[in-house]
Chains A and B, each alone.
Chain A
Amino acid sequence: MIQSRPRTPLGYLPILLPAFALIAFYIVPFGSMVGMSFFHNLGGGAYEEVFTLENYARLVSPFFLSVLGTSFEVAFLVALFAIVIGFPFTYLLVNARRGTQVFWLIVMLSVLSLSEAIIGFAWSTLLSRTAGIGVLFEALGLTEKAQSYAPSLGAVLAGVTYIAMPYAVLLLYPILSRIEPDIEQASRTLGASPLRAFFNVIVPMHRTPIVVSFVMIFVFTLGSYLLPQILGRPTNWTLSVVISDQALLQSNMPFAAALSIFLMTVTILLVLLVTLINRKGAKA
């Protein structure tokens, strides 16, 4: 029934339209952005179509290096937190009843799909003086007077980890759901407690998926753009925020394009790294 290819060239027609749509509205826009990154900025949204490398030269400025430092710091810490929380959570999830699994999968999918504007608003409320944990801490007598915990770097980390955790769960869920039940049983028979079986057998067994997920979450976090603006100060802004700020508020399209190309290069390098790790892991 399955054929290697259509019998007549006409048989290719169904896939030609989608192919055209993807090329015209993805590859071409992409190319135009690459072109834009070499144009000269005139200010106020105008640009001159001459070839220049000045937008890329600005990437080594102290301002940009500090943005890069913040982005990588946030992405690294968030990826770490998300894995440390997400891995054991997913492990417990795949071993739960089916109904429990479906419930938490719906919750995780929802958190991941919700607008960062809504998550940001919810977290700024949660960290506020009048409606959040400040009230709770005061009521519990932990602090004398309720205070606000945002904007701060800690708030950005908490907010971004909050959306990265479901991403970690959805990345790890298919992998952990394939664990043979015999493995845990075997280590239990040999006298290991469930906790020891988890830390001494399950975690080391999944070194490769853990590293791969870490890199994927790192990339995912680099894309967060509203949470650092809502929960942080301008010094906590990440690369994605700076790109949208350059494009929309400073109206410097060529520089925003160059920054995007840089971010894309970093992303592609990281994805290649993941592929390499995966291949090595498969061999081992």
Chain B
Amino acid sequence: MKLGKILSTLFFWIVGIVTIAPFVVIAGVSVNERKSLTFPPEGFNLGWYGDLFLDAEWREPLMTSLTIAICASLLAVLIAFPVAWFNWRYRTGFGKLVAGLGAMPFLLPPVITAMGFLTFFIILGYYGEFWTVVVAHAIFLVTLPLVSLSLGFEDIDTSLVEASRSMGASETTVLRTVVLPMIRPYVISGFCFVFVISLNEYIIAVMTVGAVFETLPMKIFNALRYGYTPVMAAASVVFVASTVLIFSLVAAFSDLPKLLGARSK
């Protein structure tokens, strides 16, 4: 092997190992026998994972986070779908404007969007109500299904649509029988992206419902400030594992490199 090859392989693996190392360490500390922060772990105990699901102090934030993420990703897809469909079907300035508006929240630092929601819901008197965080997450993350759905619509073979239309299918029949089945993987990946990021999101959740509800990221951050418990590590491991699992499913059911903009080869 040539020197350049050795150096580049070495570099690649060092970056890869450093990327994964923090999770190996928290997975290690999550199985400590006693309530101590040590790595390599001393003894072996999976009880902290049990606490995450059995102890109401941890189970409730977990459930809150899951509920928000499911509702927000459904809502985000419901908002994005008609926009992406409309922009595929017609070429209008208005459609482009709406799509551009949908991309804005994601471009700005999240704390700005969070401040907007905080002021807005305080003025209206809805601060702290559960639905506000669902709406806020859906709007903040609507860019993701918008991008994946637009890619999906571009991919549809228009001759199929033409064929069904020339055989007398109405707009709704075309949508239901031709477009929807082809666009389904993109709907699912859009949903998954919003779900994962909503599950992990902190600042917008704090600024909409932080005084009333506690999500799991808030719980971890608060626990971090008031001292260490291995349940934190267990909760983090479960979150890391589900995040990786969901993205792996997205990769299994769609073309991930293409979804992230790679040239199709």
Contacts and interface: CB of A to CB of B under 8 A. Distances in A.
A247 B118 contact: yes
Contacts of A92: 8, 11-12
Contacts of A162: 18-19, 22
B37 A128 contact: yes
A14 B86 CA distance: 7
A55 to B, nearest CB: 13
A202 interface: no
A3 B165 CA distance: 14
B68 interface: no
B136 interface: yes
A189 interface: no
Interface stretch (A58-66, A170-178, A204-212): A170-178
Contact of A14 (B85, B104, B162, B216): B85
A125 B94 contact: no
B167 interface: no
A260 to B, nearest CB: 4
B220 A12 contact: no
Interface string A220-263: 10110110001000000000100110011000010011001001
B33 to A, nearest CB: 14
B112 A264 contact: yes
A60 to B, nearest CB: 21
Interface in B57-82: 79-80, 82
A4 B89 CA distance: 8
A36 interface: yes
A3 B23 CA distance: 51
Interface residues of B, number: 98
Q: Is the interface of A mostly helix, strand, loop or mixed?
A: helix
Interface in B157-174: 158, 161-162, 165
A264 to B, nearest CB: 5
Contact of A101 (B15, B25, B135, B257): B257
B251 to A, nearest CB: 5
B119 A177 contact: no
Given A131-B28, A177-B262, A118 B37 contact: no
B261 A174 contact: yes
A258 B251 CA distance: 42
A125 B247 contact: no
Given A110-B247, A125-B37, A247 B115 contact: yes
A117 to B, nearest CB: 4
A1 B165 contact: yes
Contact of B107 (A27, A89, A271): A271
Contacts of B92: 4-5
B180 interface: no
A215 to B, nearest CB: 12
Contacts of A126: 21-22, 25
B236 A118 contact: yes
Given A121-B220, A173-B261, A219-B109, A132 B39 contact: yes
A128 B36 CA distance: 12
Nearest to B83: A18
Contact of B90 (A6, A30, A226): A6
A137 to B, nearest CB: 13
Contacts of B98: 15, 18-19, 22
A41 interface: no
B56 interface: no
Contacts of B248: 106
Given A26-B139, A264-B108, A102 B202 contact: no
Nearest to B23: A122
Interface in B210-265: 210, 216-218, 220-221, 224, 232-233, 236, 239-240, 243-244, 247-248, 251, 256-257, 260-263
Contact of B115 (A6, A110, A257): A257
Given A89-B15, A120-B224, A256-B115, A25 B263 contact: no
B201 A244 contact: no
A18 B139 CA distance: 10
Interface string B142-156: 100000000000000
B239 A118 contact: yes
B36 A130 contact: yes
Nearest to A30: B116
A102 B136 CA distance: 31
B135 A115 contact: no
12 contacts: A14-B85, A15-B95, A22-B139, A25-B135, A33-B112, A89-B11, A106-B251, A110-B244, A110-B247, A118-B217, A118-B220, A135-B39
Interface of A: 1-6, 11-12, 14-15, 17-19, 21-23, 25-30, 32-33, 35-36, 85, 88-89, 92-94, 98, 101-102, 104-111, 113-126, 128, 130-132, 135, 162, 165-166, 170, 173-174, 177-178, 193-195, 219-220, 222-223, 225-226, 230, 240, 243-244, 247-248, 253, 256-257, 260, 263-264, 267, 271
